[in-house]
Structure 1
Amino acid sequence: MIRFVRYSLVIAILGLASCEQVLNKEPVALLVDDLVLNEPNDVQPVRIGLYSAFRGMASPNMIAGDFTADYIQHNGTFTDYRELGTKQITATNGAIDALWGGIYNTIYIANFIQEKLPLVSGVSEATRKQVTAEAKFMRGWANFIGAYTYGDIPNVTTTDQPTNRNIARTAKADILTAVLADYKAALTDLPSVASGSTDVTTNATYMNKINCQAAMARYYLYMKNWALAEQTATTVIGSGVYTLQTNYSDLVLRDFTAESILEVGYNLSDDPGTGNFSLNNLFVSRREVIPSNQVVAALNSTESGTRNSTIGFSIQNLKGNDNGWTVLKYGTASEDNNNIVLIRLAEMYLIRAEARAQQGKLTGANGAVADLNVLRTRAKAPAVSVTAQADVLLAVERERVYELAFEGQRWYDLVRTARAQAVMSAFSPNWNSRYEVWPIPQREIQQNPSLKQNPGY
């Protein structure tokens, strides 16, 4: 059974940080199976439900990208994180289950909007187009994360429960074709953002044409469409909507910086600092996982520059197997860094650098090295000076470690570049090629007879 058809499922709809009054209301609870979209006044509550479901993917997505790879070592008592830290992952892992649930919660509500909104009279055409476009974007994003995490996944395009209770997996390539179709459809009707806009919270919280194009740039990179990855990243960089933060430490310590392209916000009621899959709780409160010695060395290297502000050291934590280091990017409700950034402008420079390097555009003003050095300059790190293509590509890989550490991308990067086996087998004797995809959650296999497990699990 796909998670979103369970009657017990409740999505907490909480006020998103925004200047829009409708999204600052008191929290309400919404049963997915009781979603109502019958009149114009129903549109905004369901839209908030969509954003809330989308936000629910963020923490387990960060866990997938960082904990499956070489960024962490287990330091606590939870079985889920011991499995991820020691590379002995099973299909009963709670984080694996949580991400699957978040993906299909989002898809369910996106499908609901696309089915029901055309039938509601009295909704302005502009609202209808925008909310439908948001639903398409978020369904595309969810399927993108699902395909690159689990491989072949069910392509769910309806809210019909009997259909969704017995749906087989669709080939990853077909899922990704559907992702691009959703992104392109969304791009048509998402709102534009003027160059130089200073409303950084709205620009990063709500879907618009530029952050949709940023997601497309990542899509094209993963699909190895180097020309379109370069072109789309250039469009985002050149839009003037987002600008690089002067000090890298602000990216660690502050929410909604001018660099944030897509960010999910939290408030006192739903801060991710508590709970089994909350990042602050795992990194700081419980210290369930700590930065691996490898990533500590990388972030403290000369090439990283000021990006070592991502982590911090305390002598009080230095004991036993604890190396004393802590991830600082995810704070509590009382701190100004409790959000989760999904895309920021620095990634666009890294996407363009990799795409250019793959096309042999290595040096000069429009070369890969120039893009890497934009980030090196910001981080007060020495400039990249290599010129051979293989060396530039390795420099891009290292730069993604320095720049994007603990932003949920490392595992996906290693797999998509076919570097996972070389890097991870050196990191852990337990690494196995089956870990290049997560298993389908065991409870989903048990409840849906049409689902088949990934090999090796």
Structure 2
Amino acid sequence: MHRLPLFFKWSLLLLIVAGLSCNKLLDAGSPSNKVITSQVYASDSLAQAALIGIYFKFMENFGPNNGWTTRFPSLTADDLNRTSVLDQDTPFLTNTLASDNTTVLQIWNTTYAYIYQCNDLITGLTGNHSITPALRDQLQGEAYFLRAFNYFYLVNLYGDVPLVLTTDYTKSATTPRTPVDDVYDQMINDLNKAQDLLTNTYATTPDFPSARVRVNRQAVKALLARIYLYREQWAEAAAASTEVISSGIYQLESDLQQTFKYNSREAILQFMPVSNAYNTAEGSFFIPVLSTIRPAFVVSDTLLKYMEAGDLRQAWIRTATVSGKQYKSPYKYKQNTATTPRDEYNMVLRLAEQYCIRAEARARLDQLPDAVSDLNTIRKRAGLSDLPTISTQNQVLAAVEQECRTEFFAEWGHRWFDLKRWPARANDGRKRIDEVMSALRPDTWNSTDALWPIPAFERTRNRTLSQNPGYD
């Protein structure tokens, strides 16, 4: 984390100097090329450019918030396989990560760079009277959300992580790991502040009047619902998800092919593409440039085995025959290159998850009929009949796992994170992840693989960082 100030100056000033010219929604203007960091929070246009710059950096290249949190956790779990060997993917696919893994390091460093930018925005906007009050609240609320969002993925990948809330790199460079529960407390604190600062209205422009690519209050509630679920605060999770579902802003798309489009009515938050090479990283990863080319990634046999006959979500799986062999790969996104206009955005939060969150929370609260009703809502959209009569909590929770797996395969690491937090079905004190992965990869799986290693390079720079069990 010693290099964060350099990254910040590079990314923030470059974006402000150049202007975010990819489209007008991600363009807060083209200020003078003599802007310095101390001036960023002196005007509305520069402050807005700083915030928009974070979204831009998310999508500029492949990274934690653009494809990698789908790709690598899906390989680590039982969502995806590869059709050929690639050195970058093999350690994830075989659960043999090492502390010197460069991808693990890059995800760590890039995510902390995003957090640094959020910290700078929060600090620069706090008590700032140079910015129009309504805009200041909007930008600060978004920054609080984005900081919590990035910490959510850090703790679910690495466990205890340094909780850095300052731009003082001399302090952050020696910050030890903070217990997961304390980081979650900070996330909830950030999100509570964000919801007080934000409204249900999305920031848009006349060119993009219906875009949902900037955080609003309901996006905050949606992430809160997930965090409450992960913390086993069942009543709070159910209440937060109910608020999102009942807001009237979102609808499940009856046509599954519309779910991941730029104008999806299901979208609570999307990230807008900025690359000239592709719309979404997932589309680029999963769809070959030519139909005659074997896909690099295929969905797992276990996923295919447990998908019900007639499930319309099979439309999210592409079937291709190459050299006489059939391959089935993820197909939630249909484009593998950039389109004009952009017709697919990176789906970050969507309504279906809120139904699944509420179903699980209600099941944990022994509100079984209501939980089943939520699952049936998802099933109906998928063209499936209602679940048969379910009389026990364990049966409902098994149905929750089935729907979550089928709904969210190859999407933002959902399967990996769910397996890590669910208890084993055998009720033997293990987690579900040990039950599933020890059967899938008996030769390489260890329970300590549930967390990624703390990067060795970071530990040489910050001697206070301890290592996760199972790694050097």
Q: TM-score range by the shorter chain?
A: 0.7 to 0.9
Note if contact 2:164-2:172 (Cα within 8 Å) is conserved in structure 1: yes
2-structure distance, mates of 1:433, 1:256: 41
Note if contact 1:35-1:46 (Cα within 8 Å) is conserved in structure 2: no
1:138 and 2:143 correspond: no
Partner of 2:447: 433
Q: CA deviation at 1:51?
A: 2.1
Partner of 2:171: 163
1:328 and 2:335 correspond: no
1:265-293 deviation per Cα after TM superposition (whole angstroms, max 9, x unaligned) = 103436366xxxx4334323384332121
Change (3 A) 1:26 1:70: farther
Q: Give TM-score, length-normalised by structure 1.
A: 0.87
Note if contact 2:311-2:384 (Cα within 8 Å) is conserved in structure 1: yes
Q: CA deviation at 1:443?
A: 2.2
Structure 2 matches for 1:17-96, cutoff 5 A?
21=24, 23-24=26-27, 36-40=39-43, 41-55=45-59, 57-58=64-65, 59-96=67-104
1-structure distance, mates of 2:270, 2:149: 13
Note if contact 2:76-2:94 (Cα within 8 Å) is conserved in structure 1: no
Q: CA deviation at 1:394?
A: 0.3
AA matched with 1:43: A
Structure 2 matches for 1:50-449, cutoff 5 A?
50-55=54-59, 57-58=64-65, 59-118=67-126, 120-193=128-201, 204-252=212-260, 254-269=261-276, 271=278, 278-285=281-288, 287-299=295-307, 301-302=308-309, 305-316=311-322, 319=325, 324-330=327-333, 331=335, 332-334=337-339, 338-363=344-369, 367-387=370-390, 388-408=392-412, 409-417=414-422, 418-429=431-442, 430-449=444-463
Q: Which moved more, 1:230-239 or 1:139-148?
A: 139-148
Q: CA deviation at 1:123?
A: 1.2
2-structure distance, mates of 1:26, 1:170: 39
1:304-340 deviation per Cα after TM superposition (whole angstroms, max 9, x unaligned) = 7100111111111665xxx511211233212856432
SS in 1 for 2:367: coil
Structure 1 gap segments, 5+ residues each: none
Q: Give TM-score, length-normalised by structure 2.
A: 0.85
AA matched with 2:50: V
AA matched with 1:369: V
Note if contact 2:28-2:48 (Cα within 8 Å) is conserved in structure 1: no
Could you say what the CA RMSD is over the residues aligned between the two structures, in angstroms?
3.0
Q: CA deviation at 1:403?
A: 1.1
1-structure distance, mates of 2:184, 2:339: 39
Partner of 2:428: none
SS in 2 for 1:204: coil
AA matched with 2:449: Y
SS in 2 for 1:315: strand
Note if contact 1:17-1:201 (Cα within 8 Å) is conserved in structure 2: no
Change (3 A) 1:119 1:229: closer
AA matched with 1:283: F
2-structure distance, mates of 1:382, 1:229: 26
Note if contact 1:200-1:256 (Cα within 8 Å) is conserved in structure 2: no
Identity percentage over the alignment?
30
Change (3 A) 1:199 1:248: farther
Note if contact 1:203-1:261 (Cα within 8 Å) is conserved in structure 2: no
1-structure distance, mates of 2:301, 2:129: 59
Structure 2 gap segments, 5+ residues each: 289-293, 423-430
AA matched with 2:463: P
AA matched with 2:229: L
Q: CA deviation at 1:451?
A: 1.6
AA matched with 2:26: L
Change (3 A) 1:282 1:240: same
